[in-house]
Amino acid sequence: MRRVLQVLLAMLVTCGTLVAPGDARTAGEVTYDRYSLMIDGRRIVLQAAEFHYFRLPSPHLWRDVLEKFKAAGFNAVSLYFSWAYHSPAPGVYDFTGVRDVDRLLRTAHQAGLYVIARPGPYINAESSGGGLPAWVKTVPGRARSSEAGYREAYREWLHRINPVIARHQVGEGGPVILYNAENEYQVNTDAAYMQDIQDQARADGIDVPITTNDCCDGGSWSSTWATGPGAVQIPGIDDYPQSFECADPGLWGPWGEGVTERLRDDIPVFAAEYQAGAIDVGDAGYDKCRELTGPAFMKYFYKNNLVTTGATMFSYYMGYGGTNWGWLAQPNDVYTSYDYGAAITEARRLTPKYDEFKRQGYFLQAVTPIAKTDPVAAPPASDNPALTTAARANPDTGTQFVLVKHTDRAATSTDAATLDWPAPDGRHRVPVQVKGRDAHVIVAGYDLGGQRLTLSTSEIMTHAAIGGRDVAVLYGTAGSPGATVLRYGSEPRVTVLDGRVSSTYAGGDLRLDYSHDGLARVLISGGGRRPLLLLIGTDEEAARFWRADTASGPVLVRGTDLVRSASVSGDTARLVADVGTGAGQVEVFAPPQARRLRIGTQDVRVTRTRSGSLLGSTRPPGPAPLPALTGWRAHVESPEAQPGFDDSRWTVADSTTTTSPHPPKTLPVLYADDYGYHYGNVWYRGHFTATGAETTIDLNAITGKRGNYLVWLNGRYLGSAAGGVQADSGDQWTPPNPDPGPGHFAIPAGLLKPGVDNVIAVLVANMGHNDDWIADDLRFKQPRGLVAAAIGGTPISWRIQGAAGVDPVRGGLNNGGLYGERTGWHLSAHPDKSWKTANPAAAPLIPGVTWYRTSFRLDLPEDQDVPVGLRFGGDPSPAYRVQIFLNGWNVGQYGGDIGPQKEFSLPAGLLQERGANTLALAVTAEQPLPGGPGPISLFAYGNVRVR
């Protein structure tokens, strides 16, 4: 009963319609109205980016990525929690080591980020099974429904993950402010399921508002069923206007305007997943995806979205993509890298997209009236129809936000106009100029610290009160005109410290006119206000600024590659910052008591500038050479192919029934999942007494896209075939392919031994499990492994072998059932002295699996961050595929037409940066080849000093 009361109470407290802003506030209360979320009554614009801890299996690097989010002006991180990642079998859950989500949530909190917790149960995310563990394929009941079987399974997960999330909610002093139920569940209509997920969450102590992310349009859980069972408090919409066609990065919104709709009148407009990268469906490479979703796209689409519907809740997918290590990938759309063309690369490097997030994110944090706006009439760009405006204003402060963009959003020309702007403090005619595929959000009627900003046609990046004056960073496109008008009681003193800025004063208005060029500096004092330092730069100059909060107020830093945090104590300003090989100037705007500067462990000699800042130069990081990879040794495996191999301890595959919705074509049922082998390669051995009349072996195997299988008879290799895939249409109406992944192998004369035991051996790849986007069991529960087998009519008795248990550190997705994996050839400790030396690129390969191993030592400087990758030179042959193991961790797959990837991230943590490392490659060849992968080398993605 107490529990029930608690839950009811929690629901009352969090229901925004019941708790009006201004009501009694307890610590960490999340409320909302039609404008925005409020935390303890304080409005916030939610600026979140998505991060998948399961795609970065190095917990200490979570901090690095999350600090980078924070430094870009994000105030929140959206986290999917992957059920599959934690549960290798029913009832078995692991939340330790790389799965320590408690640590993840603590880290987010320490980085100063709120959290949107998204535990599914279904998450999609191009992850195997869409995050549903493969064992769920074997439970009765439609997945993503309220049907028995599935229901017990998902409740088991929720009761494990919810308590962890619950104890990190804001009310408990933690970072979690929202809980997202399910994922794009709009095409499915099982309200009982949607409701039950929420009921379970409430029962488990979740008291923050519950959200859901709808796909594509608003007609769903969000609106149509807004009040019925299953309805959530704050539905949001996923929007990917730029598509996933990375091969064509010049596309411009092929999937629409990308404007997040208002779904209800009582909740903020929530862009639950807004495109910030793309999956590389066409194998174009992620740099192209980064281009497709680059700064131009961000400028136009994000700002357009911001002003058109007044959205104040954003979550960008992805902020950092990471790696599909092990067997994490869903096979149909992705390969090892899940870089996603995100603002932060897989190797944790910052890109120009990061700069754009920073410009926009800082603005959203600094100019707080944007959290509450209504549409208002926009000042027309009347003298040039090529440009269009739209506007919103804060009803309390009157602050206006005017969007200036091209009328034809696809325009590529630069266009200028004069805005005749009836701003709250008076009418002004000011110039605006917009280059093609760009948009500006400009502000009028704003109390900028101790100043009154009448208007500016430069965009505001940030402003801060530092040492009794205001410092503001404004920016605009290089070469474009800008005008800023500030209001004063009497004429102020204007000193142009840098750049060309003209000023006029009339009737209380100080007007500055200039062209955006480099970084102009204008000091304004007197006029009845505290001093103002205006820093007016180009986009590029603005991006060099960092803002960090200290106990003695904010500081601004120009220069360094990244400022993670700052503090001021005594006469010293300290920065925790990254300094790249470019090094260069660093300039710090800090309270005046700071006369010295320390970056990490380095004292930086500084002088005081006319701007009142401290100026010095940074020292670049030292070199970080990487060793050549030599001393490779090789060993052939696949003993399973030999007739004499002892398979007596393998699992007997003799089942005649299955819970799979796919009826077996031949018996026994050979589906790997039915025998508990869910990930990676699986071996089959079939024993049969031959009549001698058999002529062919007819097989069907389903592997998921890019999978294959290899077949031996009595130790003789017969060849390979491509594995079956999800029906191309991928919809629930297309019946399953009746002949998936067929392979017909003629039996060579003289190979069969009539009347005695003959052995067929088959090695089948399992490239991962289909997602379940439309909650279609035929798709999600598509089997893996052999799905039919016949050798004439001769009876066969089968055994199957997949992974030998679950790696206690690396988890159930790390390994499949290769011989070398079952016997530890991938592990550092495996003795390989007896293996013969061989160069992988030049040594001939025979069909089956050959392993290569080598070790190398690293001694990377402790105060530097040098992300390391493994590079395969030359072109991969489609005839072999390579599983790459670093110190036992399965870090990726190369070759075999699996994807365009030739460089693989070796994340620190898995990689011993100061110590010994072992690389092991399992190379599966489909045919005899003169050589294998290579040349193989280590390389550095970057090099920054971090201490």
Contact set with ligand IPT (CB under 6 A): 123-126, 183-184, 215, 238, 240, 273, 279, 317
Residue nearest to ligand IPT (CB): 124
How many CA within 13 A on the CB side of residue 804? 10
Q: Work out how close the CB of 213 gets to ligand IPT at its nearest, in angstroms, rounded to a whole number.
A: 6
Q: Which residue lies nearer to ligand IPT by CB, 363 or 773? A: 773
Q: At what angle do helices 191-203 and 150-166 cross, to 10 degrees?
A: 40
CB 787 within 8 A of CB 702: yes
For tokens 């992957």, name the residue. 82
Residue type, position 596, single letter: R
Please, what is the minimum distance in Å from the beta carbon of residue 947 to ligand IPT?
35
User: Given the complex with ligand IPT, which of 125 and 387 has the nearer CB atom?
Assistant: 125
In terms of CB distance, is 206 or 215 closer to ligand IPT? 215
* Nearer residue to ligand IPT within complex by CB, 66 or 215: 215
Listed in sequence order, the DSSP H helices in 72-139 are: 83-86, 101-110
What letter would DSSP give residue 619?
A: P
- What's the closest the beta carbon of residue 279 comes to ligand IPT, in angstroms? 5
Active-site residue, 587 included:
no
> Is the C-alpha dihedral spanning 46, 49, 54, 57 positive or negative?
negative
Cβ distance to ligand IPT smaller for residue 319 or 888: 319
Give the Cα separation of 765 and 706 in Å (integer): 9
To ligand IPT, the closest distance from the beta carbon of 158 in angstroms equals: 18
Give least dist CB 240 to ligand IPT, A.
5
User: How far apart are alpha carbons 471 and 449 in whole angstroms?
Assistant: 9
Q: Which is nearer to ligand IPT, 238 or 776 (CB)?
A: 238
Q: Which of 947, 939, 288 lies closest to 602, judged by CA?
A: 947
Least separation in angstroms between residue 123's CB and ligand IPT is: 6
Which residues fall within 8 angstroms of residue 845, CB to CB, at 6 or more apart? 880, 923, 925, 928, 929, 931, 932
3-state SS, residue 835:
coil
List alpha helices for 858-924, DSSP H.
none
Q: Which is nearer to ligand IPT, 774 or 940 (CB)?
A: 774
Which residue number, 186 or 484, has a Cβ lying nearer to ligand IPT?
186
- Within 8 A by CB and 6+ apart from 584, the residues are 559, 617, 618
Q: Which residues contact 673 (CB under 8 A, 6 or more apart)?
A: 134, 135, 137, 138, 660, 783, 784, 785
User: 200 vs 139, 152, 190, 230, CA distance in Å?
Assistant: 20, 12, 16, 12
Q: Please choose, from the candidates 877, 938, 881, the residue with its C-alpha nearest in 3D space to the C-alpha of residue 912.
A: 938
Based on C-alpha coordinates, what's the Rg of the chain?
30
Q: Which of 67, 126, 184, 541 is catalytic?
A: 184
The continuous run of DSSP H or E covering 597 comes out as strand 596-599
Catalytic residue among 273, 356, 640, 926: 273
194 vs 370, beta carbon nearer ligand IPT: 194
Between 82 and 373, whose beta carbon lies closer to ligand IPT? 82
d(CA 426, CA 118): 47
Angle at 296 between CA 375 and CA 270, to 5 degrees: 40
Find the shortest distance in angstroms from Cβ 51 to ligand IPT. 13
Question: Which of the 8 DSSP states describes residue 298?
Answer: I
Could you tell me the two tokens for 213?
């992310």
Residue 257 annotated to the active site = no
CB 341 to ligand IPT: min, Å: 11
* Cβ at position 761, least distance to ligand IPT in Å: 37
Report the run of H or E that residue 924 belongs to, with start and end.
strand 914-925
- 3-class SS letters over 643-694: CCCCCCCCEEECCCCCCCCCCCCCCCCCCHHHHCCCCCCEEEEEEEECCCCC
Element (H, E) at 303: helix 303-309
* Least distance in angstroms from the C-beta of 130 to ligand IPT: 8
Of 34, 36, 14, the closest CA to residue 25 belongs to: 14
Those residues whose C-beta lies under 8 Å from the C-beta of residue 531, and which sit 6 or more positions away, are 468, 469, 470, 523, 524, 525
CA distance 847 to 720: 9
C-alpha distances in angstroms, 629 versus 347, 823, 939?
20, 24, 11
Q: Pseudo-torsion of CA 788, 792, 793, 799, nearest 10°?
A: -50
Residue nearer to ligand IPT on the CB measure, 78 or 87: 78
Burial class (CB in 10 A: 0-12, 13-18, 19+), 582: exposed
Give the number of other Cβ atoms within 10 Å of residue 375's Cβ.
13
Nearer to ligand IPT, 123 or 936 (CB): 123
- Residues 590, 566: Cα–Cα separation, whole Å: 10
- Encoded tokens for 147: 């049907």
Q: Which two tokens stand for residue 876?
A: 């991969």
Q: How far apart are CA 220 and CA 226, in angstroms?
A: 8
Q: Which residues contact 829 (CB under 8 A, 6 or more apart)?
A: none
Give the three-class secondary structure for 680. coil
Provide the minimum distance between the beta carbon of 284 and ligand IPT in the complex, in angstroms, as a whole number.
15
For 793, counting Cβ atoms within 10 Å of its Cβ (0-12 exposed, 13-18 middle, 19+ buried), the class is: exposed
Q: Please say which residue, 226 or 281, places its beta carbon nearer to ligand IPT.
A: 281
| Residues annotated as catalytic (active site), given as ranges | 184, 273
